[in-house]
Structure 1
Amino acid sequence: MKIIYTYILILLCFANTGIAQELTLPGHKQYGLKDGLPQTQITTLFQDSRGYIWAGTNNGAARFNGENFFAFTTKNGFPFGYVNNFAEDKQGRIWVLCRHGIACISGDSVAAFPQNEYYFAQGDFTAGDTIRFIATRKKDDKRMVGYWTDGEYKLLDLPFIDRYKDGHLFTYNEKLDAYIFSSEENIYQVNQNEVKSFSHPCPYENHKPAKIIRLENDFIVFYVSSDLNHILCYSFNKTTSELIAEYSFGKCLKYPPDNLREHISFFQGLSVQNYVQYTIENGEIYPLNVSGHNVRTILKDKNGGLWYGAEDGLLRIFSGAFTTFNPALLPEIWSVTEQQEGRFWFASFSYGVKSLKDNKLKSLLLNGKEILGNYFHPAVNGNNSLYFALGDGILKYMPNGKTKLLNYTWNDNPPICFYTHYDKERRHLLGGFRGNVAVWDDNDKLVREIGRASGMPITGFVHCIAQDSASNFWFGSPDIYHYNWETNRLKQYASSAEIINCLDAATDHSGRTWFGTQKGLYYYDKQTDSVKIINVPELQNWVLMVLPIDKSRLLLSQPDGLYILDLDEFNRNGKVILSCYNEANGYLGGEPGQAGAFKDSQGHIWITGTSALSRLNPNLLPKKDSLRLNLVFTKYNNTPILYEQHQIKLPHNQESVTIVFDAVAFNRPTPVEYNYRINKSKNWSVAQTDNYITLIDLPHGKTTLYVQASLQGVSTIFPVVIYVSKAFYNQAWFIPLVLFLLLLTLIIVTLVYGRTQTRLQKTLMRAKYAEAETIQALMNPHFVYNVLANVQSKIRNLKIEEAEQSLLKMAHLIRRFLHLPAQDIENNDNKSDILKNTVTLAQELDLLQEFIDFQQLLYPQEFIYLLSIDDNVDVEKIYLPPMLLQPFVENSISHGLIPKQGVGRLQIDISSFKKQNKTIIRIIDDGVGIEQSRQMRDQSKFKYPSRGRKLTMRRIHLLNELGFNIEIDTETSEKGTTVTIVLLKSAEKKTRN
């Protein structure tokens, strides 16, 4: 039986040991083939000016931007396998010294310079982009030194070098123009054909040279013991050597001088059998803390992060500040507390309550079952009794192991307790329920109700409780409330409309209370007696957790990880300075849990999370871990871009381009966002997470594209100048120019056509006017002919005196005709000017009166003349062409009244119709009529063709074409003839203008 008990005891010991070993997760992240490395054996590490981490392997190189690896292998033009080391030149190009040659990488492009006759081992990059190296000739295994510059290899066959084939360290001092290398016994300086040997300064036989560091005028050599636990650092000058630093078993026995401290960095690859691992950085020695990995090289990046190149991949070493607990042993932890120093309790909603003491886990059972339904923030009273917030109330666990359920209900609300808080000053327990906060004393007596049960409105469940510097309380629910214990008054400070929900609250050492809400981080401002938001880009999401670390730091959360606010800066000037922690720098808990931070007796902070429970040692946190972001232009239209290239020239007639960028950031709490603008005058585009930008319809010439990458408030801008060369017919100005020329041509044609038409119209008008004037001129001789015929008759009948009077009267009348208004058709091109060549009706009637008087003189007692003018006719304001009425009056006299037997009558009636805008002139005679007059003329022996009426009608037709509006109507019979002349008012208006 004893044997069985002994065996069980051994198993339990092994079980406890197993738990202790598996309780925490490794403090690093390992990258391998599945992450993009071309091979897992890391030979060298390097960080360039852009921030990329370069890893050399046995099968090419890899470039890491903090999220993805880009491998350089034979598949994309990198022909070498084993990589010795990297360097960067002034142009930003990466030079890679490999076993079988040298490669130059710029962007994604590779220029390879293979060397098939030699194997390259150690190398060193010096000024002027010269690469110095040790080489072994393949054909005879001869050891040589050489250098590569300007695309050529130079091998130096120095006779002294080949003597020391065991030499394994190498560098080159430019100022001394000397190669420095070591054997296991001595250090050698080779200058041309001279060799200077330095004796072994180390007093220990089992110590060998492990590293040489080149300085300006001298160099430093590290000597390491065979068990790797003792390191001596010597400075060599021209003649002597001096011990400047010593390290033993992870401790510094002698610190280097301040002026050399930055040069004292050392790591030596360790054997698989020996895991006593240390690294020296800036004179300080640190343990590697990566047992189980054969580390070959170490890199400290520009953010202070450590990268280990191991035989099994690249290790990203997290800060020792975070410890992550195995979620298989502590799953889904919602809250943490400490009952006694060193004994911790972890409550899970689905997996019960567990305690941890001396790395031993135990489950807390109630009636033999797990205690499920745990919520947030357990409390411990002065008697070390524990209070757990449950869905059934509050579970009290006493030091003697007894348990008790504090149940609270009001108005049929469920007894769910979300949060517990213990007031050490008043020795009261506060529990947050729906609409109420219940308060018990240490004897479990309900002493106060705060909220709806006491007539004070608290909306929803109380998610958190915090005590301020005056020992009063803040309650977080969908709203934020402040409660004064002494006055028993509750005041609301923020509503759910502003914050949606308050999820955690805490008061820092200065007395300021902070609130984590669904809309960000808030704080109480005493000066304004209000709650204010911290409005920065990093804190625009749920703040589930708030906890002061110390006087100068506030720990808070976002869904992407943890943030630490610098309280000193905020209290000093209101400046918000944040440090971010997530899986990139050690916090592996995922999204932090609601109200899930707890500070233990050692000052460590326990943090619940969706992925795992974590513990933070604030003393090991760097003072600041800010986000860093760099933007690199990688390619356009699938064409690789060289490093430091900021401009591209598109092929002829190509006007679209796709620009691809790469963001270098080793701490990415959220995806990098990109936006852009074309030239500085344009607005920024909408942010996107795609790292490429497509531009179309680019103009001819130069276009500057500004690309901005942003990461949680950190941003950087990269300008790209794009040159576009288009044929003239593809340029933006071509089509507008063609359209302009077409429009101009159309305008010119229209103008020419218009001017031609105008000239033609003017010519036609001149012709018509001339014709009208000619007709008028023809009508005057017709009148003269008739008068002269009458005078001739009087002379033949010896009526000399009457003939003389007729001639005088005719002369006067002809003079009046000649003085009628006349239009200068050579100078007047406008129709309106022609229309102005009119006379008033009064002038026309005056002339007509003289003509009729003359006719009565010629034909006395032949006819009488009557003139009738309506009262509404103003003869001074009615305009008409000159001699419009005279031809009709003359026809009435000559062809109607004179042939008539007896005394005839000539009557002119003038009337006006204003509504119809016209003037009517009627010329009425009671003569023989037109038809009888034509017959009498045909039978006369003095027969002659009569063209007076025809000429008159032709003239009126032409006048109407010139802009007048005259209508003629003739009615005739045996009893006489009536000629009606209608003058439209529109014509009258035109003539007056």
Structure 2
Amino acid sequence: MFVFSYFFFLKFSLISAQNQSIKTYTKNNGLPSLHIQDIAQDSIGYLWLATPKGLVRFDGNSFITYTTKNGLLSNNINTVFVNNNLILIGTNKGLSVKSRNNFKNFEGNNINCILNANNHTFLGTDKGIFRLREEYLSPLRTNFQIDLNEINDLKFDGKFYWVATNKSLWKVDKLTNPTILERIDVDNYTSILVDNKKIIVATYNNGIKIIINGEVKNQPVTLQNIIKVKKIDNQFWIISEDEGIQVFDNDFSFERTINKYNSLSSNNITTIFEDSDQNKWIGTQNAGLYTIKNDNPSPKKPQISFENIEVVFKTLDSININNYNEILQLPSNKNHISFYYKTVDISNSKNIEYRYTLNNKTSPWSSKNNVDLAYLSPGNYTFSSQSRIGNLESEPIQFNFYIDTPLHQKEWFIFSSIGLACLLLGLIIWSYIRRIQVKNKTKIEKLELQNHLLSLEQKALQLQMNPHFIFNVLNGIKALGNSGKSAELNETISKFATLLRGVLHNSRQEEISLTEEITTLKNYIELEQQMSTNSFEYQVTTNLSIDSEEILIPPMLIQPFVENSIKHGVSTIEKGRIDISFSTKHNLLQCEILDNGIGFHQSQKNKQPSSHRSVAMQVTKDRIESLSNKSTFSMTEIKKEGKAYGTKVLFTIPLKTDF
């Protein structure tokens, strides 16, 4: 009878297993290890596998392994848990938390299980329970029999926490300083399943136990060394460490066995997991990964999500990627953007197609799930992507961003540049006109000065030969002729002719040598001596650094002052004297005319209002001051005890030479 029952049971198991297709994944398919310790699935659809050689991600087509080289705390992974967008990885050295692009590690004890409840993450370790805090793992003080034992599983039923240790099963209201702390049973408990109001627990050596209203009932099973109990498709799956899997219905009636005698190549099972497509995944200790495919999956729309967005080859953080309502502001030089998007469908991993839309321009469907957008123009952009499997299309996801206009293309910069250019152009034009005006003004001033000098020279020439002086000379010549003094007559005529010739010659020159000026001056003075009723003496001296022949001065510049000294100075006294001296100093020519007459104040009182010399003196003074801003002129009386004893005329002009 026993033999018949065994063969019937075996045949039934084989028939049941043959009704479902089983696929095996080993190292030949890309697994880093044949030991699969735990399985989880994230919201995108990736399967995450815990192995002794790292964390493995599977999209239904290929495996990607993360190790300590990628930032993991340890390669020896015991359990994996998905919490929103984070992957919590329990290792033999503590906890690793994987965000989208990096790992954050928390060193600690060997972690066996992970529970997320009441907004906290709890970790069951080889030595008690720990809570995950922001920067470290905090040990919880529950009870010394819990704190010092190996925690194999943690569950929360909505009101109480259930703790399975290698020594007992506990029920507590809080994991820290509980007010209700109840030890349910003593045994080596390995797994807990919360099923409505029932708590189903597995023991390593004493089968399955069911707790209802605090009462513990034994559920007979033939398996030994049970490590996990799970409910899948309204069935209870009991996993043995070395005897395979037994499946029971909701009333715990036996349905089938899955082991090396009917379906698998190994009885060393570690875990069982059902994915979102209701495919079953079986992890083993030494034979890799098995999947029992759901032959009648319910049609569903694929889901797509952004895996990564890079701006100029630099990854954005997860906040920017997942916030679809805000617009990412980018500077003008950040106009190279790469999008990576993904749909994970374990059952149809090779039949997924993608397309993207950028500002209403849509690409064709293809298997490519990324795009590089380089050298984008400034402006607002909406990028969306979509996937499809067969005729089923996903809802599109979108990302909004804005690329700023380069500085040189902004309106305010353009208008400012135009304004600045106009201002600069205006300044250049104004400066040019100003230079022309200044130049013209300088020319006008120079012409006016030249005209003024010409006028002065013309006036000087008109005044330099006093008609009264000429009349007196001619009368003197006549008197010498009548008196028969032929020698004196000839000498006077000769001097007068020389003077006239010199004056006429000099009047056609702008400048003459100092020697010529002195010669003409001597002729004039000697003629005045002959015509004067009172005799006087004169002397001309020079103290020059260069020869007088090489010094140039305007013609008849000295004569008016000498004439003034004669007519209004020495001619009114006996034994008059005139001293004329020329000297050079600091590139200046200095001329001094000194007489011992009555002084210019007394002479002003004595002379007639219509005096010719007053005009000649003023014109000559203006000529001197017009020669240069360095020219100086002074006329002072020589006094002794308050009485005038002569006049001194002193002026300097720029020294000018003919070389």
TM-score range relative to shorter protein: 0.3 to 0.5
Query: For the pair shown, which has the larger CA radius of gyration, 1 or 2?
Result: 2
Decide which structure has greater helix share: 2
Give me the TM-score of the superposition, normalised by structure 1: 0.29
Give me the TM-score of the superposition, normalised by structure 2: 0.41
